[in-house]
A = this chain, B = another copy of it.
Amino acid sequence: MINIAVAQSGGPTCAINASLAGVIREALSDDRIEKVFGSKNGIDGIINDNLVDLSEQVNDEYSLGLLKCTPATLLGSCRIKLKPHCEDEATYETIFRTFEKNNIKAFFYIGGNDSMDTVHKLSLYAAQKGIDVKVVGIPKTIDNDVAITDHTPGYGSAAKYIATTVSEIIKDSSVYNLKSVTIIEIMGRDAGWLTASSALPRVNGQPAPQLIYLPEVPFSIDKFINDINKLHETENSVVVAVSEGLKDESGQYAASGHLSEAVDVFGHKYLAGLGKFLETVVSGRIGCKVRSIELNVMQRCSSHLSSGTDLDEAETVGREAVKASFNGVTGKMMVFKRVSTSPYEIKVESCDISLIANKEKLFPLEWITEDKNNVSDKALDYILPLIQGEIITPTKNGLPIHLELK
């Protein structure tokens, strides 16, 4: 019998724990596996031998079910980027010593683009040294910007949160009988997938948001003001969805002068304040009632509003990763292939990580309308199946309960 290890990395989502539940569930049902070790704070837990025996703590239907709808990462996260092993062999030796010491024959890393880079490097090292440890990537990111896979676990729940909340904000912003602009700022530094999901209320006949600006198209403030003014000729309440990452023709962030100075550990500039900036612009140039709303981390942590489809798929991809490792899969990431959109059907496969790591899948330009201020029905056809299914979160005292490590 062997042991396996699993870790979570990158920004939290609503579905990353569902994939963890999938890994544990599959391991519990497979006689070849004795223990599932959870690595605390991503790869950091492997480096520092900071492991927890998940097969002991999460091994019944109740705890697996609760884990599935617990937001953020049960095991914590990290933002560590490994150097290539030619530059820092010591870290790789430490990692594989932890694997050896604990009889860990397969390692599953649930994460986004940056985490897949780690999967790639670990599998290369193992291959080069002839070490039989399978390394498999399980995708997650609300951004949906990972190559090859049809979509990423976590995106559907974030899209459902955004579409539901936008639908409620549309009602909220239309109560007064006067011209107004409501600006909703949505996550997405380079890719417009999340912002595009704000268009979903249209499927149910809601009139807004009338304007949607994605980072794939250069943003012009003059055009933005013109677009609003044109709508105000016939409508009172204009709702606008903007991606936090909008850039002007020269590639500068639209609210450059208003950025906070913080950068994350990968050197990404921390974006904040585009909505507030545009609020000021509308106030000055149009002068009507205006409000900006930043959906902020609620986009990635509102597990009470998760998509049932998303959580089920996230769990499935976790299970399939474990199965794949027994079939010799390593250095690969699990991906979704869409078999059909209507009726919706996907299958799970694996793909060489070198084709995926450090790549970014942008929103297709052909799904952006001619006016460059909305998305087409084709985009909605793509997103809609991913937000289906309501989940019932377990509650106590009227509040959701979440699984905690002992």
Binding site for B on A (CB under 8 A): 12, 40-41, 44, 70-73, 76-79, 160, 163-165, 167-169, 171-177, 200-201, 203-204, 260-262, 272-273, 276, 279-280, 283, 289-291, 293-294, 296-298, 300-305, 307, 384, 387-390, 392, 395-402
- A172 contacts B71, CB within 8 Å? yes
- B307 contacts A398, CB within 8 Å? yes
In the complex where A260-B279, A276-B272, A399-B164 touch, is A76 in contact with B297 (Cβ < 8 A)? no
Task: Count this chain's copies in the assembly.
Answer: 2
Kindly list the 4 A-B residue pairs having the minimum CB-CB distance in the complex, ordered from nearest. A172-B301, A72-B171, A77-B175, A387-B398
List the B side residues contacting A388 at CB < 8 Å: 397-398
Minimal Cβ-Cβ distance residue in B for A40: B177
A49 to chain B, nearest CB (A): 15
Q: Is the interface of A mostly helix, strand, loop or mixed?
A: mixed
In the complex, A154→B219 CA distance in Å?
Answer: 39
In the complex, A392→B390 CA distance in Å?
Answer: 10
List the B side residues contacting A168 at CB < 8 Å: 71-72, 298, 301-304, 400
- B273 contacts A276, CB within 8 Å? yes
Name the one of B176, B289, B297 contacting A172, with C-beta atoms under 8 angstroms. B297
- A76 contacts B201, CB within 8 Å? no
- B397 contacts A203, CB within 8 Å? yes
A385 to chain B, nearest CB (A): 9
List the B side residues contacting A70 at CB < 8 Å: 171
List the B side residues contacting A303 at CB < 8 Å: 168
Minimal Cβ-Cβ distance residue in B for A10: B175
In the complex, A79→B289 CA distance in Å?
Answer: 13
- A175 contacts B397, CB within 8 Å? no
List the B side residues contacting A203 at CB < 8 Å: 397, 399
Report which residue of A76, A175, A276 has the largest number of chain B beta carbons within 10 angstroms of its beta carbon.
A175
- B390 contacts A398, CB within 8 Å? yes
- A384 contacts B398, CB within 8 Å? yes
- A175 contacts B298, CB within 8 Å? no
List the B side residues contacting A177 at CB < 8 Å: 40-41, 44, 76, 78
- B12 contacts A172, CB within 8 Å? yes
- A400 contacts B294, CB within 8 Å? no
- A297 contacts B304, CB within 8 Å? no
- A176 contacts B387, CB within 8 Å? no
A255 to chain B, nearest CB (A): 13
Report which residue of A276, A280, A301, A388 has the largest number of chain B beta carbons within 10 angstroms of its beta carbon.
A301
- B200 contacts A399, CB within 8 Å? yes
List the B side residues contacting A79 at CB < 8 Å: 176
Minimal Cβ-Cβ distance residue in B for A302: B168
List the B side residues contacting A272 at CB < 8 Å: 276
Name the one of B76, B176, B280 contacting A77, with C-beta atoms under 8 angstroms. B176
In the complex, A120→B290 CA distance in Å?
Answer: 31
List the B side residues contacting A296 at CB < 8 Å: 291, 293-294
A109 to chain B, nearest CB (A): 15
Minimal Cβ-Cβ distance residue in B for A305: B304
Report which residue of A296, A303, A392, A395 has the largest number of chain B beta carbons within 10 angstroms of its beta carbon.
A296
Name the one of B72, B307, B389 contacting A175, with C-beta atoms under 8 angstroms. B72
In the complex, A273→B163 CA distance in Å?
Answer: 25
Name the one of B41, B165, B204, B304 contacting A401, with C-beta atoms under 8 angstroms. B204
Name the one of B289, B395, B402 contacting A390, with C-beta atoms under 8 angstroms. B395
